[in-house]
A = this chain, B = another copy of it.
Amino acid sequence: MPGTLHRSPRKAKGAGAERREEILAAALRLFGEYGLYGVSTRHIAQAVGVSQPTLYAYFASKDEIAAELHARAFRELEARLKLGVRDVDTLEAVAASLRIYIDFGLENPDAYRVAFMIEGPHGRVAVAGPADESDVSVPGHTAFDILRRMIADLHARGLGAGDDPERMAQSIWAGMHGLVSLLIARPGFPWAEREALVAGHVRMLAAMAMRRDG
Chain A interface (Cβ < 8 Å from any Cβ of B): 31-38, 113, 116-125, 131-134, 163-164, 166-168, 170-171, 173-179, 181-182, 185-192, 196-197, 200-201, 204, 207-208, 211
25 CB-based A-B contacts, threshold 8 Å: A31-B123, A32-B123, A33-B122, A34-B122, A35-B119, A35-B120, A35-B124, A119-B119, A124-B185, A124-B187, A132-B188, A134-B188, A134-B189, A134-B190, A164-B192, A170-B197, A171-B197, A171-B200, A174-B175, A174-B178, A178-B178, A178-B179, A181-B181, A207-B211, A208-B208
Q: Number of copies of this chain in the oligomer?
A: 2
CB distance from A206 to the nearest CB of B (A): 11
CB distance from A50 to the nearest CB of B (A): 24
Chain B residue nearest in CB terms to A121: B38
A167 contact from B170, B171, B186, B200, Cβ within 8 A: B200
A207 contact from B121, B164, B201, B208, Cβ within 8 A: B208
A177 contact from B34, B171, B181, B188, Cβ within 8 A: B181
A121 contact from B35, B120, B173, B204, Cβ within 8 A: B35
- Give the residues in chain B near A207, CB-CB below 8 Å: 208, 211
- Give the residues in chain B near A117, CB-CB below 8 Å: 117, 119
- A134 CA to B191 CA in the complex, in Å? 9
- Give the residues in chain B near A179, CB-CB below 8 Å: 171, 174-175, 178
- A95 CA to B31 CA in the complex, in Å? 38
A192 and B178 contact, CB distance less than 8 A: no
- A110 CA to B214 CA in the complex, in Å? 34
A119 and B37 contact, CB distance less than 8 A: yes
Interface centre among A132, A178, A182, A189 (most CB of B within 10 A): A178
A178 contact from B124, B167, B177, B208, Cβ within 8 A: B177
